[in-house]
Amino acid sequence: MRLYSLLLLTLFTGCTRTMNYDPVMLRFDSPETSGKPLSGSFNISIGATGTRVIGGEESEVPIDTRFTYGTTGLNINTGVLSRLDLYARSFLNSPYIIGGKYQIFGQALDKSTQGWKVSISGELGSLSKSENVLFETTTDSGSLSMKYYGASLNIGYRFNSNWIVYLHNFYSHNNISSTIERRNMELQSFGGLSEGFGNLLGFKYYFNSKNGTNIFNFRPFLGLEIGTGRYSWPDKMTEFGIVHRSNNKFKPESSIGVTFGTTW
């Protein structure tokens, strides 16, 4: 039976469609909250990060990591209370995320005063995608779904009204499921828990000083973020009923990106 399965695997996976996703890395989030209800910020980002590739011709768990250039994303942040913000964040090929941030130390962004800033945040999100590719007369179909939960501790120091530097420390919990099929036959299924943790060093420069009298006072800013982290791989892979398990070790990830946006 095992020999028969391996023969089928050789026949069908010569050009198996791969699925991929990007672990959540770049955030471009400083520890300061907006400081006023309904004030907030919006920014567009571009960077490079790791991509997890699922599927292929390997007889072991076929997952690999490669570096992807040109990933783009956006952040929207709005104040609810003086020390509480809600936000939404999305990067290509990563979960769509919503979350909340609470500043526990230091003045908020609307004050832009010198000193230490500390905040905590919690977030959740999901990713669902499917692809169909025609290989001559054969169609491969792939699907991937992910449920994401994360938490972080963000510590920063503002030097003046323009400059702030921060260290964003994060943990993420991902439940992942992926299937690749051909001719309605399941070639590979993949799933399990992937955990991650890491650190992001960020810098932001705000171009002008906010006068604090108008909630809709736009203030452009630039940002740079460099990050490193480690993510485990989901531990279960099935090919034609043959179960393979990875060692689920943590593998390094890295990222770098820039952002441009404005407060209001």
pLDDT in tens, 5-14: 333 333 334 4
The domain total for the chain is 1
CATH number for 218:
2.40.128
Task: In whole angstroms, give the CA distance from residue 6 to residue 94.
Answer: 33
Sign of CA dihedral 101, 104, 110, 116: negative
Q: At which residue do the structure tokens 């309605």 appear?
A: 184
What is the CB neighbour count within 10 angstroms for residue 116?
A: 12
Chain-centroid distance of CA 191 in Å reads: 18
Q: Which one, of 95, 87, 147, 89, lies nearest residue 121 by Cα? A: 87
Q: List the domain range (segments joined by +) for residue 71.
A: 2-263
Reported residue count of the chain is: 264
Buried b (16+ CB within 10 A) or exposed e, 133-168: eeeeeeebbbbbbbebbbebebbbebeeeeebebeb
CA atoms within 13 A on the CB side of 150: 33
Average pLDDT on 136-156 reads 84
Q: Identify which of 194, 104, 188 has the alpha carbon closest to the alpha carbon of residue 147.
A: 194
d(CA 260, CA 74): 10
pLDDT for 204-258, tens place per residue? 999 975 554 444 578 999 999 999 988 887 666 655 555 555 555 677 778 899 9
Residue of 229, 253, 236 whose CA lies nearest to 21: 253
71-128 pLDDT, tens per residue?
788 999 999 999 999 999 998 888 999 999 999 999 999 999 999 999 999 999 999 8
